[in-house]
Amino acid sequence: MSTPIIRASQSLNNVRYEIRGTLARRAHEMERMGYEIISLNIGNPGAFGFRTPETMRLAMIENLASAEGYCHQKGIFPAREAVVMQQQARGVREVTAEDVFIGNGVSELIDLCLRGLLNDGDEVLVPSPDYPLWTAAVTLNGGRAVHYPCRPENGFVPDPAELAALITPRTRALVIINPNNPTGAVYPRETLEAMARLAEQHQLVVYSDEIYDEMTYDEAVAVPMATLVHGTLCCTLSGLSKIWRACGYRVGWAVFSGRRDGAAEYLQAVELLSSLRLCANVPGQWAVQTAIGGYQSIKDLVRPGGRLHASRAAILAGVGRSKYLTLSPPPRGAMYSFIGVREDLVPAFDDQSFAMALLEQRHVLIAPGSSFNVPYRNHFRITHLPLPDTLDEVFRRIEDQLDAHVLAHTSSTHAALPPAAARTTGLKIVS
């Protein structure tokens, strides 16, 4: 009797998350075999020695007795009120604690918000490259992700005219990731204003992923989208994971602002879905008020002399030394670099196969660019979290791997040429 095959849902056919996919699984296998892997595939500050501010840990500990039962489906009031105060300080008026939903990280809230909005076949405008959870969540909730290009030659900043051309009667929402993961781009105010006007014109829900809002470099300013969107519904998503280095606390928030007079049914749907999962992690919520109201230590990390600033400088230096790599413009926000490979110097380059070879042969784990929903295959993403000395070593290994790739391609081309062709090209035939 043959073993029956349990097949996966077809809804997963277009869902990918290579950040924790085949490459990451192979890296774990190699670590179990005793290899030391330099993992640059995921933005997990705690894995690189970054600590959550002590005041946040203390706030959780002091309130553990109040964290043993379920809380309101939207979250505890002190956390939601702290988010309101943050939004008001940034110029977002007319928001209250009733407009705030606390979730188990932004990841859960992305799923809840899209599930409450989409019907089968509805379209959502998603940047390319994107953080792949956005495309996955649209797909899993019956929608169709329509990717608007953020081209390398345009500094990974979207063109509002290209975006406008993609809007159809089925378009329901616009996703903006700023500062951007994976590229580190910080969008100019005029670009964001144009995107806001498009969303208002077509009555699209704006989902603004601002999880890296205070992680900027070289005096770049991340403009809160909610300060620009007034004539349609805007949902701002952020949380404790990155700015406060508390990924494991699993605390994020969604703040609804802008035009809400026609959104009551949708907001009730989001609350219903929040109720179905009962509530978000309660102990972590007690850290929110302290985090938002306390000293913002992220500023020390991103300014000159800070650790994230120094690691970013090491990446820029490593790319600058390389014969093959490009990074233009430098990332101005977030904790990633989306590095290009010069295909004129590295023939037959493929990001997936290169990433696997780099892992197997040099023990460095990166995220291939194509896993961020782009049509090209000559980029990869690395995180800024390792120390500068580690990053120096990473770029030595990347350069060695690219040298080996070019040599292997040249040798295979050489071997494939007949003697007459080799003489014509100046290649030496060794018999």
Displacement of CA 263 from its chain's centroid (Å) = 28
* Per-residue pLDDT, 413: 61
The pairing of strands 252-258 and 100-103 is: antiparallel
Contact 253, 100 (CB under 8 A): yes
Residue 320 tokens read as 């600058």
Backbone angles phi, psi at 238, to 5 degrees: -155, -175
- pLDDT by residue for the chain (431 residues), tens only, comes to 788 888 888 888 777 777 788 999 999 999 999 999 999 999 999 999 999 999 999 999 999 999 999 999 999 999 999 999 999 999 998 999 999 999 999 999 999 999 999 999 999 999 999 999 999 999 999 999 999 999 999 999 999 999 999 999 999 999 999 999 999 999 999 999 999 999 999 999 999 999 999 999 999 999 999 999 999 999 999 999 999 999 999 999 999 999 999 999 999 999 999 999 999 999 999 999 999 999 999 999 999 999 999 999 999 999 999 999 999 889 999 999 999 999 999 999 999 999 999 999 999 999 999 999 999 999 999 999 999 999 999 999 999 999 999 999 887 665 555 554 443 333 333 32
Phi and psi torsions of 338, nearest 5°: -105, 95
Strand-pairing partners, residue 146, are: 125
Answer for the pair 243, 50: CB distance below 8 angstroms, yes or no.
no
How far the first Cα of the chain sits from its last, in Å, is 55
Query: What is the DSSP secondary structure assignment for residue 143, as one 8-state letter?
Result: -
Classified as helix, coil or strand, 354 is helix
How far apart are the C-alpha atoms of 189 and 398, rounded to whole Å?
A: 36
Q: For residue 301, give the amino acid letter.
A: L
**Domain parsing of the chain, residue ranges:** 10-49+300-413, 55-293
- What predicted TM-score, i.e. pTM, was given to this entire model? 0.92
Give the architecture-level CATH label for domain 55-293.
3-Layer(aba) Sandwich (3.40)
Are 53 and 297 within 8 A, CB to CB? yes
Q: 360, 399, 365: which is closest to 382 by C-alpha?
A: 365
The region, left, alpha or beta by phi > 0 then psi within -120 to 50, assigned to residue 38 is: beta
124 bridge partner residues: 145, 173
CATH number belonging to domain 10-49+300-413? 3.90.1150.10
Q: Give the Cα-Cα-Cα angle 192, 195, 199 (nearest 5 degrees).
A: 135
Q: Which two tokens stand for residue 106?
A: 């932004």
Provide the residue count of the chain: 431
Instruction: Tell me the DSSP string of 377-431.
Output: -SEEEEES-S-HHHHHHHHHHHHHHHHHHHHHHHHHHHHHS-HHHHHHHTPPP--
